[in-house]
Structure 1
């Protein structure tokens, strides 16, 4: 992490400037067989489009609170960094009734309807596919976002010292995310520019840090595995070899 890097959006900007073509997030769903790999440039493009949608169409402002009801997924990672880009507080697993807006996967739509603000739904289908029919009361992310701009500039500069993330009963600032993620990378013994494999959920700081923020802060990448428990030891070892993993996050 450079001395000027502070927020997750800053970290992504530095990664984009350094090597836009390298892999950043590789996602597996071992329940469906899906594999998606996003380079730094592709991930940054998704973040820019999502941030433009969040700031423009959804009229979100710095300090607004977004209930993020999504599993560990590449699109969840996009939303987390997009929130940081706009200054919106991402509340992972937050209460929709208390949030300004909600972003939900297909399994939490009933709970998400408690939000009186804007509601966005993600089908979480392969390649970011849309719902066959958009859920009533929700905008379909896969319909709304592709047409958004490829570059993003916040209407209001984001304060790195303002709240940015709430998870597991604690709240972190944008700067705090980057600082703590870098400390986690050192404490875990991540090698330089690590290729990290994580099967942890995104409902804890440890899962978020080792499954996104720490690899990003350390100049590396993540292989994010949903439903990893369906792999036996041989299959996991084969994936580690194929993906050139240099650090595997322990499950416990």
Structure 2
């Protein structure tokens, strides 16, 4: 990654320029058996489409706050980078009533209705499937995002010193987030080509860093595992071997 990168969106652009074909996020859900692997290019395309949805269709921009009510999931990672691309502050588990817009998974739809702004629902079903019927009060992400543009440019340049993420009650700017991710990557022994397997939830900085930001900052990749407790120890060992994992956060 480039020393000049000051936001997570900058980190993703550098990764795309360096090696678009390498894996970036490999996602497992051990409750459903789902496995999804996204290259840097594929992940960046999802981010661009989501950022265009956020900026164009939802009229979000710098200064807006988005309550992100999603678990550790590859689509959550996409939304985090889309927010960084637009300049929207993502609040993990944030209060929908105080947010400008909300993005909610199936378990948080009722809570998300407290938001008076735009609401987006994610089914989190394998292959990014739509809801059988759109939840009342929401737009279905799987319906809205495919038609968005594959390239993104912010209407307003993103300020690296503006709030980018709120988690654990702590607000971080894009620059602070990148600097902390770099420190975490060094602590975890990550470098270019590293593969970090994380079974940590996205409900705190440790899980977010291990499950996305630190591998991205290091030029590595993440094997993000949800419901890892469903997996037998011997199966975890096989996964670590088959996925060429170099570090773990469990």
**TM-score using structure 2 length:** 0.99
- Using the TM superposition, give the Cα deviation of residue 192 of structure 1 relative to its aligned residue in structure 2, in angstroms: 4.0
Question: Structure 1: where are the runs of 5+ without partners?
Answer: none
Q: Distance in 2 between matches of 1:71 and 1:139?
A: 19
Secondary structure class of the residue paired with 1:108: helix
Q: Distance in 2 between matches of 1:180 and 1:193?
A: 20
What's the counterpart of residue 244 of structure 2? Answer: 244
Are residues 1:79 and 2:86 paired? no
Q: Deviations over 1:96-131 (max 9, x none)?
A: 000000000001100000000000000001111110
Q: Give yes or no for contact 1:191–1:246 (8 Å, CA) kept in 2.
A: no
What's the counterpart of residue 217 of structure 1? Answer: 217
Are residues 1:62 and 2:58 paired? no
- Using the TM superposition, give the Cα deviation of residue 4 of structure 1 relative to its aligned residue in structure 2, in angstroms: 1.4
What's the counterpart of residue 201 of structure 1? Answer: 201
- Using the TM superposition, give the Cα deviation of residue 193 of structure 1 relative to its aligned residue in structure 2, in angstroms: 2.6
Secondary structure class of the residue paired with 1:115: coil
Task: Give matches, 1:159-238, under 5 Å.
Answer: 159-238=159-238
Q: Deviations over 1:184-213 (max 9, x none)?
A: 111222244310000000110000001100
Q: Give yes or no for contact 1:160–1:174 (8 Å, CA) kept in 2.
A: yes
Count residues with an aligned counterpart.
250
What's the counterpart of residue 90 of structure 1? Answer: 90
Question: Structure 2: where are the runs of 5+ without partners?
Answer: none
Q: Distance in 2 between matches of 1:199 and 1:120?
A: 26
Secondary structure class of the residue paired with 2:106: coil
Q: Distance in 2 between matches of 1:7 and 1:191?
A: 18
What's the counterpart of residue 102 of structure 1? Answer: 102
Q: Distance in 1 between matches of 2:79 and 2:96?
A: 16
**TM-score using structure 1 length:** 0.98
Secondary structure class of the residue paired with 1:107: helix
Are residues 1:124 and 2:136 paired? no
Q: Give yes or no for contact 2:190–2:220 (8 Å, CA) kept in 1.
A: no
Q: Give yes or no for contact 1:31–1:227 (8 Å, CA) kept in 2.
A: yes
What's the counterpart of residue 158 of structure 1? Answer: 158
Q: Give yes or no for contact 1:96–1:114 (8 Å, CA) kept in 2.
A: yes
